[in-house]
Amino acid sequence: MSAIPEFSQQFRDAMAHLSSAVSIVTSNGSVGKVGLTVSSVCSVTDSPATLLFCINQSSELHDVIKQNGKVCVNVLNPEQEELAKHFACMLPSTMEERFEWELWLESQDQQPMLKGAIASLVGDIVDTHPVGTHTIFLVKLSQIEVEPKDSLVYFARQFKAVEM
């Protein structure tokens, strides 16, 4: 049974008032190098260190990330808002251009790690679950880099800075 359009809009309006950290999920593998902005990252467990994120199944990057099987979740600081907008396709740039910028390091698994990110969390996609229009990706982490600083969040359909 699909949701009633008015109910879907009520849900979206409610979720707009749920602050979410902003991250860029990157993936590099046999299918290509891609990245996209997400606000759906959540910890699952610390033993083994596992997180989840969600991607709309209609995104052209969905299958690339799923097939590559490895990702880096780069948690953003407020100075990286413009980059978040590029990876959300809110500003004009190609995927190739975004990865040519001098902003990237490479993880032990050759995943793009963003310089200056609050955290870069690298791992293997160990499971996926389709739910409605999206897929939940479960990632078992193998590398974690942390640099504490202010955070970029998405709240009320706007990017906001949260100070430490």
Instruction: Read off the pTM.
Output: 0.94
Give 164's DSSP letter. -
The residues near 100 (Cβ < 8 Å, ≥ 6 apart) are: none
pLDDT band at 97; cut points 50, 70, 90:
very high
How much is the average pLDDT of 75-101? 98
The C-alpha atoms of residue 53 and residue 73 are separated, in whole angstroms, by 9
User: Does residue 44 register a pLDDT over 60?
Assistant: yes
